[in-house]
Chains A and B, each alone.
Chain A
Amino acid sequence: MSLRLQPVQVATGSNDAESQLVFEDGFLVAVLVHLSDEHEGDAGKWYLEAGFGRVDSPDPPKFADLNEAQAWINQRLS
């Protein structure tokens, strides 16, 4: 299953702005936000800001990099 990423800025109301929209077959399935230095130990990780459908999670995960994030999203969609 192939995902397509599209860089975007998200107005999170914090310093976390650099983000990626994640599409599967043209459908938006997730928004990943790059965590800023405000998050200390988690700074630099990618956070599931929003997941749609099967990617929705009550406990949104953080990922070390975009590859890990995409693997997790693919697993949820499969």
Chain B
Amino acid sequence: MFEDPFLRKFEFAGNLSEDERTALQLLTLTRRPVPARRDIAESETGDRVYLVMSGFACRYKTLSGGNRRIVSFVLPGDLCYMHDSGAFARDLRVGTLTQCSVVDIPRARLEELIGLHPGISRAIWWVTLRELSRAREWIVNDTRPADRRLAHILCELFVCLRGIGMADEHGFDLPVSQTDLADALGISAVHINRVVQALRTRGRISWSNDRVTIPDVQGLKAFAEFDPAYLCLDGFGP
């Protein structure tokens, strides 16, 4: 068991050697705090990859009318802008939802480690495939009714946070706003309020003081048609 969410996440792709673990840990020694509601990228040049070590953030895009759409959440241990070295991806931003601790990794250094260490190369592949898989699932999730869509996102957060030791068997801390969830679901602030109330009334979740409790996890997963296979937590296995 690692305390480090970055290493814990990478180990889902397969075991890392001691050398690989050490190399990854050395990457994360220098961290900077980023206050809530800020973009984490400090430069537009694409020469850095950003690693969130604590806090909640999101990948998002803002339309010309001001509407924000969150396309995925960023949790501790997640790399950001990993594939965004080209101008083609700069429209997608990464912003903090809570205060975060962020590591700035020189892209060249990460590429060097990928070349030197097969375990790190495999883990980066895993992260890439997982992001694609998750993006597909979010597109499909948009087809579900809003209550099941929200339930699905809560199940995803639950499983991902469990994977890094940040959820217990019945719930997790969720210090984001209802508006953040609305923007992740693509629904209005009024609609998200109704959907949260509906899940509460039916006893599927409770959400107070930034804590989500799920009394019947299997029941919520069934309601959401949630199959965690898309999160690739079994690595590259069959």
Contact = CB atoms under 8 A, between A and B. Distances in A.
A42 B179 CA distance: 13
B67 A58 contact: yes
A42 B190 contact: yes
Given A14-B198, A38-B197, A47 B190 contact: yes
B190 A35 contact: yes
B117 interface: no
Contacts of B144: none
A13 B194 contact: yes
Nearest to A35: B190
Interface string B53-83: 0000000000001110000000000000000
B87 to A, nearest CB: 27
Given A38-B193, A39-B193, A60 B198 contact: no
A60 B194 contact: no
Interface residues of A, number: 13
B188 A12 contact: no
Contacts of B188: 47, 59-60
A60 to B, nearest CB: 5
Interface residues of B, number: 10
Contacts of A39: 190, 193
Contacts, number: 28
Nearest to A15: B197
Contacts of B65: 58-59
Interface in A51-69: 58-60, 62
Contact of A14 (B66, B189, B197): B197
A39 B194 CA distance: 9
Interface string B79-113: 00000000000000000000000000000000000
A22 B67 CA distance: 26
Interface in B168-206: 188-190, 193-194, 197-198
B151 to A, nearest CB: 15
Q: Which 3 residue pairs are nearest across A and B when measured between Cβ atoms?
A: A14-B194, A47-B190, A60-B188
Interface of A: 12-14, 16, 35, 38-39, 42, 47, 58-60, 62
Given A47-B190, A59-B67, 14 more contacts: A12-B194, A13-B194, A13-B198, A14-B194, A14-B197, A35-B190, A38-B193, A38-B194, A39-B190, A47-B188, A59-B65, A59-B188, A60-B188, A60-B190
26 contacts: A12-B194, A13-B198, A14-B193, A14-B194, A14-B197, A14-B198, A16-B190, A16-B194, A35-B190, A38-B193, A38-B194, A38-B197, A39-B190, A39-B193, A42-B189, A42-B190, A47-B188, A47-B190, A58-B67, A59-B65, A59-B66, A59-B67, A59-B188, A60-B188, A60-B190, A62-B190
